[in-house]
Structure 1
């Protein structure tokens, strides 16, 4: 049987090796032996204090506090036990008692600088949460979550002294998590601080840090570790070269000291700290998380975008992992997510996989690798990629329930955090933009129409629409609800009418087929160089104030050109060594954005509605809503079968079925990364632009048609919208004004209270069929029958129009393409409108 001294020595050795759970076991065994001694004395207090230190490393603050009490029962004025008691109380969020314990420790050892620093931090935190005059004096349930002081330059260790940083306090005022952000090569922390503000992760403060070194010729861009030698040649991949690794390890050592400072002077425990890094900054984040894990101080989570450990490190770590195996003990592993684009020419996928293997096998970290089809080396672009990050954080960030999160006193649903996080990541404005864009007009063969769109609570407008007269007897209306950006919706609104008129099926009168083909034609055009260029122009035009995207490829390309220029102007003799030339990048043609589309084509008396996605069209017939489209959702059996057959997968996130963890719809134009299987027809891809086309022959009972995006249908059902429009038409209100009222009526007062309902972009088109001039109101059907005769025959089931495959003759579309001039809305006669419905 081992003696207490031997067990204590084994515990100390385990502690020094970072095996804190094993250390606790050895100390516990020694305590059990000494407990049998009639007067264990000081040695028992030492064991309790040592075990408390190990429990603090494991973040078991309650057990540590109990052990500190046992030690202090033997030695009441022992500064070390008082200091550890302070740390345990701080970890439990008991700032007042922690400050008192710190004062006792300082009284026992006045010169202890660690205790002095900790006491200052505790007093600052207490002052921050102290009630002001005239406010309630009851403290928050957890002061550490309620407020923490903003980090200052004094917390930076010597190596980071002078480095730029920017702190972003939590948007909701709850200091539950701290997110450290590391930029890519040649960037600055300001861009990542803006990103943190836009994401507005719940209960999360953010600290964007700047690299230690300045990148040559980059106008203030920073680097986290050495990249070039003294002659500005890249040092990557040189045999025996360790400057990169040594520089990285030096940086990470400084960052670990910063973490310690944040813990002791800022109250941020390691298990509440998460990391986010891009490319070179992602390498730093991964190495920092690895070292913290190895030291038994695992962080909360780590996200590395287009990043991996350095190849030199991987070789070393793989050897160490093969010899030593994974770590034991009870510690939990840091959750890590590494994202990588299939067209990333800077970080190879093999390095990403090797990094994941090393972190899993040698360090017990939970690592997920997420591949993004068609994406190059860049920060996340669009809500689909951001949703992947938000999903990860919703699962791994700590969350403290608040009154707002507990409907009817119950805990919020697990998926609600994801949806609320996605809503809080910058999609919503502080107040809605209620400016409206509208178009209105009349046509002698159709009637009055009005289309209105409004940005609403969203930070950008991604809807677009069309309302055009292709000829006297042919009219097209459409609503395009964009996602991932506005460019695809705008592209469709500009290109679709022209491409439809050009299509041979349209000229032949096969209108249903021409609508189907023109939807797919949009995807074809976007794959062309001309189409991609047009999309890029549209995207840039809509961006306005463009945020830096942290594209490290651009930095390397710029550096290559500048270095070559310097060599030429400096008269240097190029010897070909250390060349920065790399294989040319392929043009990025995978479109990240997409849009739903609902398009109505009215050819004389025939209505065709093509739909892909969850926008919707509804016809008012005799006052009743007649659906002219069906929403396309991944959970529908036919949609599910196609997605699975094409190699996609479905996941339930927050009660919503999503395709490949992202899109909550199954058909759309654009989204080309889901349409890359060359062995499948366009209609069979994971996400397809194939529309359903419904047709109706218009009669005197048909009053109007409504087309709208899901921002409307999320708030009202079909019949409610029909009733809303009908009631106002009966009062003589013009279609454009009705559409405007409809949008305002659907707009939410508060996104949080509405849970996102009524907070989307909104677009509605109302087409009124005038009784005196609309389809089948006078004249003849396209087959030659007079309208009254045709309607009588239709009512009795006898009339058949032999007008071709589309239901209208090829001659019914006037190829002169004359377009009526839009005029201000003319309200239909109230009595006639009321009589129709």
Structure 2
């Protein structure tokens, strides 16, 4: 889902005044060469030649602490989905701290981590694909090295995936989704923006649920109250991922208990990360499921949740808030999961999306 201000000199500046300065200020340690003084700015001259508004002495004391005026803040948009009404809460530093969405058949809540910095998570939710209320695209994106990659992917991945799905002449939908991910990766690398992003997406297409991920964002479905992970976390600690990286001439090592690619990145697949692109690939893992009455809801979340909350725990929190009641409360479920993760010590950004699958049964 992102202006620099020049600081004034911290050293005081002394200018000649129409009044006689005290010996302490004007007597030098040794006789310096004559100074060539540039004309003073009009605003400074005025401060010497006029009294203060309150009738006090001239502006010498003000000149001694004069600082350069701070330029006006530039508003840089950090999130512009254009598909849903979104409520964004900002803290006193004008940094995005929360994202809240309540849509038709789904809700999403994201909260910035306690470790500070900018929020690097983003999301996408596109309903009524091709004018069909039973088709939609959802995604959660966990950026690293800045929010640029997650912001870019949130705006472009769905378009590339849907273009590939519409234009495919052979092969299954899994291949079309993979091509959409890879196309988005190529487009992002051309932008020369640092960082990358993990992704998890869910495409509801012709009665099927097409779930894909690259990295450690995860999708978990509830089927009659039982949690089922639909994705695999792509981490360099996995034997197959480690072998793939090493066979390409790269290496993985363990730093403070965390396995990393080249001692840097803790995931082995992501969109972006140009400096590791040879080993950190954008190819997703995809699974296709038929949506039936047993499929209750789907949770898409960043690793900020899954590092502190198990799959079944997450389902147990959401289940009573979304099933068996007159008005399901998926947003309350999202917020409760985020709060649970942070109460257990998560300092990462936490993003949770809950999708009510009954809304999309054909």
TM-score, L = length of structure 2: 0.69
Aligned residue number for residue 113 of structure 2: 456
Q: Distance in 1 between matches of 2:352 and 2:301?
A: 4
Q: Distance in 2 between matches of 1:465 and 1:737?
A: 18
How far has the Cα of 1:527 moved from its partner?
3.1
Q: 2:216 aligns with which of 614, 635, 643?
A: 614
Aligned residue number for residue 711 of structure 1: 304
Do the aligned partners of 1:523 and 1:672 also contact (CA within 8 Å) in 2? no
Summarize the alignment of residues 7-18 of structure 1 with structure 2, pairs less than 5 Å apart. Answer: none
Summarize the alignment of residues 190-339 of structure 1 with structure 2, pairs less than 5 Å apart. Answer: none
Aligned residue number for residue 299 of structure 1: none
Q: SS at 2:112's partner residue?
A: strand
Q: 2:178 aligns with which of 516, 523, 540?
A: 516
Q: SS at 1:736's partner residue?
A: helix
Aligned residue number for residue 288 of structure 2: 695
User: Does residue 765 of structure 1 match 2:353?
Assistant: yes
Aligned residue number for residue 76 of structure 2: none
Q: SS at 2:119's partner residue?
A: coil
Q: Distance in 2 between matches of 1:188 and 1:521?
A: 46
Q: Distance in 2 between matches of 1:696 and 1:647?
A: 36
Q: Distance in 1 between matches of 2:213 and 2:309?
A: 19
How far has the Cα of 1:774 moved from its partner?
3.2
User: Does residue 466 of structure 1 match 2:124?
Assistant: yes
Q: Distance in 1 between matches of 2:219 and 2:351?
A: 12
How far has the Cα of 1:188 moved from its partner?
10
Q: 1:735 aligns with which of 330, 340, 345?
A: 330
Q: SS at 1:607's partner residue?
A: strand
How far has the Cα of 1:759 moved from its partner?
1.1
User: Does residue 774 of structure 1 match 2:356?
Assistant: no
Q: Distance in 2 between matches of 1:733 and 1:632?
A: 33
Gaps of 5+ in 1: 1-186, 191-428, 443-447, 533-588, 676-684, 749-753, 777-837
Cα-to-partner distance string for 1:95-144 (whole Å, 9 max, x where unaligned): xxxxxxxxxxxxxxxxxxxxxxxxxxxxxxxxxxxxxxxxxxxxxxxxxx
How far has the Cα of 1:512 moved from its partner?
1.3
Q: 2:313 aligns with which of 700, 704, 720?
A: 720
Q: SS at 1:643's partner residue?
A: helix
- Report the CA distance shift for 1:468/1:611 in structure 2 as closer, same or farther (over 3 A): same
Summarize the alignment of residues 390-409 of structure 1 with structure 2, pairs less than 5 Å apart. Answer: none
Cα-to-partner distance string for 1:28-47 (whole Å, 9 max, x where unaligned): xxxxxxxxxxxxxxxxxxxx
Q: SS at 1:456's partner residue?
A: coil
- Report the CA distance shift for 1:635/1:452 in structure 2 as closer, same or farther (over 3 A): same
Do the aligned partners of 1:604 and 1:775 also contact (CA within 8 Å) in 2? no
How far has the Cα of 1:688 moved from its partner?
0.5
- Report the CA distance shift for 1:189/1:671 in structure 2 as closer, same or farther (over 3 A): farther
- Report the CA distance shift for 1:507/1:616 in structure 2 as closer, same or farther (over 3 A): same
- Report the CA distance shift for 1:455/1:506 in structure 2 as closer, same or farther (over 3 A): farther
Aligned residue number for residue 158 of structure 2: 497
Provide runs of 4+ in structure 1 moved above 4 Å: 187-190, 504-509
- Report the CA distance shift for 1:744/1:643 in structure 2 as closer, same or farther (over 3 A): same
Q: Distance in 2 between matches of 1:775 and 1:645?
A: 43
Aligned residue number for residue 87 of structure 2: none
Aligned residue number for residue 817 of structure 1: none
Summarize the alignment of residues 310-389 of structure 1 with structure 2, pairs less than 5 Å apart. Answer: none
Do the aligned partners of 1:600 and 1:608 also contact (CA within 8 Å) in 2? yes
How far has the Cα of 1:646 moved from its partner?
1.6
Q: Distance in 2 between matches of 1:639 and 1:455?
A: 29
Q: Which structure is higher in RCO with an 8 Å CA cutoff and minimum separation 6?
A: 2
Q: Distance in 1 between matches of 2:113 and 2:183?
A: 31
- Report the CA distance shift for 1:620/1:439 in structure 2 as closer, same or farther (over 3 A): same
Aligned residue number for residue 374 of structure 1: none
How far has the Cα of 1:459 moved from its partner?
2.1
Cα-to-partner distance string for 1:576-627 (whole Å, 9 max, x where unaligned): xxxxxxxxxxxxx4x4300000011111321111111001001111111111
Aligned residue number for residue 200 of structure 2: 598
User: Does residue 670 of structure 1 match 2:263?
Assistant: no
How far has the Cα of 1:713 moved from its partner?
0.5
Q: 1:441 aligns with which of 74, 82, 103?
A: 103
Larger Rg: 1
Do the aligned partners of 2:135 and 2:360 also contact (CA within 8 Å) in 1? no
Structure with a larger share of its residues in strand: 2
Do the aligned partners of 2:96 and 2:119 also contact (CA within 8 Å) in 1? no
Q: SS at 2:360's partner residue?
A: coil
Do the aligned partners of 2:223 and 2:294 also contact (CA within 8 Å) in 1? yes
Aligned residue number for residue 3 of structure 2: none
> How many residues of Structure 1 are paired with residues of Structure 2 in the alignment?
269
User: Does residue 745 of structure 1 match 2:340?
Assistant: yes
Do the aligned partners of 2:197 and 2:270 also contact (CA within 8 Å) in 1? yes
